[in-house]
A and B are shown apart, each in its own frame.
Chain A
Amino acid sequence: MKLFKDKETHKDYTIIIGCGRLGASLANTLSDEDGNVLIIDKNKDSFRKLSPSFGGLSIAGDALDLDVLQEAQIDKASVLVAVTNNDNANIMLAQIAREMFQIQRVIVRLYDPDRKDVCREFGIDTICPAILSAKEIGKILINMPKKEYMEEEL
């Protein structure tokens, strides 16, 4: 949750790539918090997931195309979040953002935790849903009395 706090205090220009459930809800949250947000997705229909009150910009196009990134004014962004459903595309986007455009904060969602290694040395933050979920489920199992746990399941 550190990620959200940072953005509350700064008011950065954030670029989100991939308007899936995660990308869209992140964009909605940042927009509600009055942040500058731009979201990119290959598929125009994906933008239906954005809330009606979404006040940011959206571009339909392939973010791996440098023209699309220029259109998004990537050089002015301070945060880039790559959350497409393709791990390799996310990695490449993050590295482009970091090395070609020197963006301060780059965050990547990776389904496969084994691919983390290639991001580490570039100072790219990685989020792995599988690992996070496993930790959370572990916590629930430890903290919850057995009876409540049974009720939750029903």
Chain B
Amino acid sequence: MKTKVLLVGGRTKTKSLAASLIQKGYQVTVINNFYEDCLMLAQIDKLRVISGDGTKPFVLEDASASEADIAIALTSKDEDNLVICELCKKKFHVKKTVALVSDSRKTNFFYKMGIDSVVCAITVVTGIIEQQAFMEKISSLVPIGEGRVNIAEIPISETAPVVGKKLWEINLPKQVIVGCILRGDTTMVPRGDTRILAGDMLILISSGKQELAAIKELTGR
């Protein structure tokens, strides 16, 4: 049976999310409070669109929320997203609820209220912008656990100060480990006596915002 996903609110986010979910084979229903947005969303093939206020229980009922496996609240208002997820969880017993939050300080509060997954768009976006703008040396950075932990790919150039050094000789911050080294076609989990060579790609796992200090130590910038 197809996994049923319910998307509530949102405009462009919902449009691209719905299209991508349908392509992956999910059965998607969208609730939107604005008629114009509903018309825009209805252009997507196989998408069920319900026009109405998703924070009202009877609208959720119209959208058969009780049959949904995942409910995702994407409105621009934190309070609306909270109520949507709580209604889905408590009244319609949806297994998994996801809420978008704009105020990052409310993330923990949302989890406490029983929402399964809380996404703070602003934290994610500012993180990426910061990464793009200031750390061109890193090819990718994956935040985990609301950005408390980061996994980064660090390419080691010939001029890097750590070339030829053993791992234990490098003065890495405490909260950082080199989890893996990609060398040509081989991958290895390094030990303290593993030597870093030019052209290596280091997979760095860091917590507590230590990645900048670690990157500086590794690449000299």
* Interface of B, helix, strand, loop or mixed by DSSP: helix
- CB within 8 Å for A88 and B82 given contacts A66-B103, A66-B105, A118-B90: yes
Q: Residues of A with Cβ closer than 8 Å to B?
A: 64-66, 86-89, 91-93, 95-96, 99-100, 112, 114-115, 117-118, 121
- CB within 8 Å for A118 and B83 given contacts A64-B78, A96-B109, A99-B113: yes
- 16 A-B contacts, Cβ less than 8 Å apart? A66-B103, A66-B106, A86-B79, A88-B82, A91-B82, A92-B79, A92-B82, A92-B83, A99-B113, A112-B56, A114-B56, A115-B87, A117-B57, A117-B87, A117-B90, A118-B83
Which of A65, A92, A118, A121 lies in contact with B87, CB distance below 8 A?
A118
- A96 proximity list for chain B (CB < 8 A): 106, 109
- A92 proximity list for chain B (CB < 8 A): 78-79, 82-83
Which of A89, A99, A114, A117 lies in contact with B79, CB distance below 8 A?
A89
Which of A66, A88, A99, A100 lies in contact with B83, CB distance below 8 A?
A88
**B97 contacts the other chain (Cβ, under 8 Å)?**
no
Q: Is the CB of A64 within 8 A of B79?
A: yes
A20 to B57, CA, bound (A): 26
CB closest chain-B residue, reference A66: B105
Interface string of B68-87 (1 = CB under 8 A from A): 00000000011110110011
Interface string of B91-113 (1 = CB under 8 A from A): 10000000000010110010011
CB closest chain-B residue, reference A112: B56
CB closest chain-B residue, reference A93: B79
A91 to B82, CA, bound (A): 9
CB closest chain-A residue, reference B83: A88
- B105 proximity list for chain A (CB < 8 A): 66
- Determine which residue in B78, B80, B86, B112 has the highest number of CB atoms from chain A within 10 A of its CB, and name it: B86
- B106 proximity list for chain A (CB < 8 A): 66, 96
* B: contact size bracket: 20 to 34
- A65 proximity list for chain B (CB < 8 A): 103
Q: What is the minimal beta-carbon distance from B85 to any residue of chain A, in angstroms?
A: 9
Given A100-B109, A117-B91, A118-B87: 9 more A-B contacts, CB < 8 Å: A66-B103, A88-B80, A89-B79, A96-B106, A114-B58, A115-B57, A117-B87, A117-B90, A121-B90
- Determine which residue in A66, A95, A100, A117 has the highest number of CB atoms from chain B within 10 A of its CB, and name it: A95
CB closest chain-B residue, reference A67: B105
CB closest chain-B residue, reference A121: B90
A87 to B78, CA, bound (A): 13
- B91 proximity list for chain A (CB < 8 A): 117-118
Interface string of B45-72 (1 = CB under 8 A from A): 0000000000111100000000000000
Q: Is the CB of B82 within 8 A of A95?
A: yes
Q: What is the minimal beta-carbon distance from A120 to any residue of chain B, in angstroms?
A: 9
Q: What is the minimal beta-carbon distance from B215 to any residue of chain A, in angstroms?
A: 33
- Determine which residue in B79, B103, B112 has the highest number of CB atoms from chain A within 10 A of its CB, and name it: B79
Q: What is the minimal beta-carbon distance from A106 to any residue of chain B, in angstroms?
A: 14
Q: Is the CB of B90 within 8 A of A91?
A: no
Q: What is the minimal beta-carbon distance from A9 to any residue of chain B, in angstroms?
A: 32
Q: Is the CB of A91 within 8 A of B113?
A: no
CB closest chain-B residue, reference A120: B90
A95 to B78, CA, bound (A): 13
- CB within 8 Å for A91 and B79 given contacts A99-B112, A117-B91, A118-B87: yes
- B56 proximity list for chain A (CB < 8 A): 112, 114-115
